[in-house]
Amino acid sequence: MPKFKVVVQQTASAKGGVLDNLANDNFEIEREELEVVDASLVEVPPGTSLQDYIEIARDADAIYARGRRITAEIINDLRKCVVIGNASIGTDAVDVEAATDAGIVVTNVPDMFIEEVADHTFALLLASARRLKLMNNLIHDGRWSEGRPEFLTIPRLWGQTLGIVAFGNVGQAVARRAHAFGLHVLAYDPYISELEMTKEGVEPVSLVELLERSDFVSMHAPLNEETRKMISVKQFQHMKSSAIYLNNGRGPTTDENALIDALQSGQIAGAGLDVLETEPANLENPLLHMTNVVVTPHIASASSRMMPETRRRAGREMATVLSGRWPRSAVNPTVLPRTDLLRWQPYPMSRGPNR
């Protein structure tokens, strides 16, 4: 009998294909990591009721936060759980406060798809700056040269200013790309020191100054009570009428109605969005029908490497905690000193007697 029980809810039936193995609920990658510490992954079928899920999870040693939001109601009924694992940077799927109160470590994978998201941010920046959506529409409408006078007013990218809101891993990767395109970079992040910003060639400023000076504003803040609708009416009023707003972080960090109003009124010039306040997108959402807005379906992290490596890392983080050690990435690190876990040390290279 396995030493540990890990519970996860399926979101789709796995059919055995390559894409199913990576994108759906074939948990072979996670199992490979969990088996190292003799942990068994118990899969809860789709459509399982909350009460039935609570009953199954009650004696779990770990919860894998996929397929269902791990609420305070679930967390408060856990008897043995020491870790809740996430295969993402964001932890929206977990009530982190309830987990912290319960002394449960919440892990994530904050450094697994940084480059992909930074690439996507710059793709949206360039598409918005060069008005690619409008250009594409003109061709499909049979108006090959009608828009040329308007496009001749597009400012040169070199020498413009990019403002980055939240200067974590993604923000820093975006800044490196921005320098290569000749952009001056500003950053606002009250939790990052000025020295960390300046060594990246970035000018630290207040949020208001960033909004007032930037030609592009790129939002990368995580979603929490401090950042929910952080960019709203007042913030858009501080921006240039020629500015473009980018969001590749979390949709609810932006007041979407305020963004729509700012775009429709000409308060700002355009937007490039990978995330929306409500997802999947409502097809009636005005943002989908504006020629100065580029929207992608919350897919900035996508690459051939992203899915298998994030799932592998999620499994490894849970296995690390179950083996009695601190994880690499604890969302709620104040819990760690309250546990019996030892400070993190890497696995031996053998990863076990037969590996």
Active-site residue, from 58, 179, 298, 328: 298
Partners of 163 in beta bridges:
186, 217
Strands 161-165 and 184-188: parallel
Burial class from Cβ neighbours inside 10 Å (0-12, 13-18, 19+) for residue 240 reads middle
Active-site residue, from 66, 238, 250, 311: 250
Active site residue 184: no
**The residue to which tokens 């890497």 are assigned:** 346
Active site residue 220: no
User: If DSSP states are collapsed to H, E and C, what string results for 11-42?
Assistant: CCCCCCCHHHHHHCCCCHHHHHHHHHHCEEEE
State the DSSP string of 71-85: -HHHHTT-SS--EEE
Burial class from Cβ neighbours inside 10 Å (0-12, 13-18, 19+) for residue 33 reads buried
**Cα–Cα distance for residue pair 37/229, rounded to 1 Å:** 42
Q: Are 109 and 87 in contact (CB under 8 A)?
A: yes
Sheet with 161-165, edge to edge strand ranges? 203-204, 184-188, 161-165, 216-219, 244-247, 270-273, 293-295
Active site residue 325: no
Burial of 280-301, coded b for 16+ CB within 10 Å and e otherwise, reads ebeeebebeebebbbbbebebb
Closest by CA position to 272, among listed 252, 290, 247: 247
Reduced to 3 states (helix: H, G, I; strand: E, B; else coil), residue 293 is strand
Active-site residue, from 279, 289, 305, 351: 279
Closest by CA position to 107, among listed 91, 127, 131, 123: 91
Q: Catalytic residue positions?
A: 250, 279, 298
